[in-house]
Structure 1
Amino acid sequence: MNRHLLAALGLGLIAGPALAADGIGAGLLKSQCIGCHAIAKPENTSLDRLWERKGPDLYYAGSKFNKPWLEKWLQNPVRIRPAGELYARHVKGGTKEDVVDESGMAPHPKLPKADAEAVAEALMALVAPAELVSKGAFKGEKVSMAMGGMFFGKLRGCGACHMAKPGFGGASGAELYTAGERLQGDYIYSYIKNPQQFDPRIWMPTLNLAEPDLQRLTGYILQLGATEAK
């Protein structure tokens, strides 16, 4: 091997294993993930595309997820949306209320540790443009859990679609009791502020919240997830 290359590797100037991991992760994304997920911004934003989508878009994953959570979840996936990506297909009438029918929902594949780490690395490189997720938008202020819970559940009705605790809340949206571990604050803030900017056909309503309320709701969701993770 060239002595200059050896010296560079010894000083850590060339990250051979990291580059290899990036290559493996990108390859796995293309070979195993694009059948269900968009890793580039879709040109087709039709309602038909949303209805046929099998998994969430990942082209902004690096601005959405926390890497340690990704690595852990990819090794042992647990359903985040209780009723699946398109809830209307997996809900049926029950004796007292609608219930989720899991028989038609395929489990997410499990990845070995090395593959999970490589895929997580590749996903974290998929960063959203600034107009989609504004870095530093969430100011990180702590909020009262009691007041945040009232705002989340009673004043804004978030519990109609989202679970704040396992088994408590709606099933049509993603559960939020692991959000503090799973999601980045700037993403939560940006998505609540304008969900249609991420997908013009998505059913998440634009709440038109004032800035203090956006900060409060984002902080509550992050603290809620952190509390449940303990």
Structure 2
Amino acid sequence: MRSLSVVLFALLAGIGMVDTAMAAGGADVLQQQCSSCHALTKPADASLDRLWERKGPDLYYAGVKFNREWLEAWLQNPTTIRPGGVMYAKVVKASADKTADTIDASKLTAHIKLNKADAGAAADALMKLGTDLDLVQKGAFKNGAPGPMAKMLFSKLRGCSSCHSAKEGSGGQSGPELADAGSRLQPDFMVAYINNPQKFDPHIWMPTLGLTDADVQKLTGYLITLKTAEAK
């Protein structure tokens, strides 16, 4: 028997309320495989409690955040993006010598893998999410060259490396790894998120740094250079 969600999407598609290409596959994959852990529409509850209890990062703005090619490939072969999971405080523990924090890997859950067809359909559907929201200004990233100070902004001057790693084994673990940021993220999204993380997640712990536009452009330009070997 077809699930109620599938029937509903079919009915809505028939009366022109849902994109039929999305209803035929991508929306079903998101509903069946992703919705239990990720918010696919902007949550009405913007409380800290919801942020604490969510099982995966919000995807309601995935279409203005991710690059589609990366999405399709990653969904077929997921790799670690958040070393400490979606909520670092839940999995971190003090090391035996009390000098550093370590991650309790037993508390982390592996992401599901999708086959090629489902990954492609899901990627297409995800790229539709958030495009109708006023979150990212198109053309916000203007400077294609990071400049000589850009890496230093990340590693030393602005403290990004205390939470994020730009290469394996180097940098903090409480935030998403950025070693493939240039493959994964859209430049305009990076500009918007660096400028105001709380616009996307009201209680997110990443600070608003108050950088000048010149520094945001340099930092984004540096992050764009960070790509996986197969994407270079």
Structure-1-length-normalised TM-score: 0.87
Q: CA 1:22–1:178 in 2, change beyond 3 Å: closer, same or farther?
A: farther
Is residue 120 of structure 1 aligned with residue 113 of structure 2?
A: no
| 2:140–2:188 contact (8 Å) kept in structure 1 | yes
Of 148, 166, 175, the residue aligned with 2:168 is 166
Give matches, 1:37-116, under 5 Å: 37-94=38-95, 95=97, 96-116=99-119
Structure 1 match to 2:28: 27
Of 201, 206, 218, the residue aligned with 1:204 is 206
- CA distance, structure 2, for counterparts of residue 162 and residue 23 of structure 1: 38
Of 200, 217, 220, the residue aligned with 1:215 is 217
SS at match of 1:92: strand
Structure 2 match to 1:177: 179
- CA distance, structure 1, for counterparts of residue 230 and residue 175 of structure 2: 18
Which letter maps to 2:86? E
Post-superposition offset of 1:228: 9.1
1:119-147 CA distances to partner (integer Å, 9 max, x unpaired)?
00000111344631111101142113x42
SS at match of 1:164: coil
| 1:59–1:128 contact (8 Å) kept in structure 2 | no
| 1:152–1:159 contact (8 Å) kept in structure 2 | yes
Post-superposition offset of 1:21: 6.1
Which letter maps to 1:78? T
Of 131, 135, 140, the residue aligned with 2:138 is 135
Post-superposition offset of 1:31: 1.5
- CA distance, structure 2, for counterparts of residue 35 and residue 87 of structure 1: 20
Post-superposition offset of 1:45: 0.4
Which letter maps to 1:119? A
1:189-216 CA distances to partner (integer Å, 9 max, x unpaired)?
0000000111111101000111101111
- CA distance, structure 1, for counterparts of residue 87 and residue 130 of structure 2: 25
Based on CA coordinates, which of the two structures has the bigger radius of gyration? 1
Root mean square deviation, CA, Å:
1.8
Post-superposition offset of 1:149: 1.5
- CA distance, structure 2, for counterparts of residue 227 and residue 172 of structure 1: 24
SS at match of 2:114: coil
Post-superposition offset of 1:20: 4.7
More helix by share: 1
Which letter maps to 1:41? K
Aligned residue pairs total 212
Post-superposition offset of 1:23: 2.1
Of 165, 180, 189, the residue aligned with 2:191 is 189
SS at match of 2:223: helix
Q: Identity over aligned residues, as a percent?
A: 57
- CA distance, structure 2, for counterparts of residue 42 and residue 158 of structure 1: 28
| 2:26–2:125 contact (8 Å) kept in structure 1 | yes
Which letter maps to 1:92? K
Structure 1 match to 2:158: 156
SS at match of 2:166: strand
| 2:51–2:203 contact (8 Å) kept in structure 1 | yes
| Unmatched segments (≥5 aa) in structure 1 | 1-17
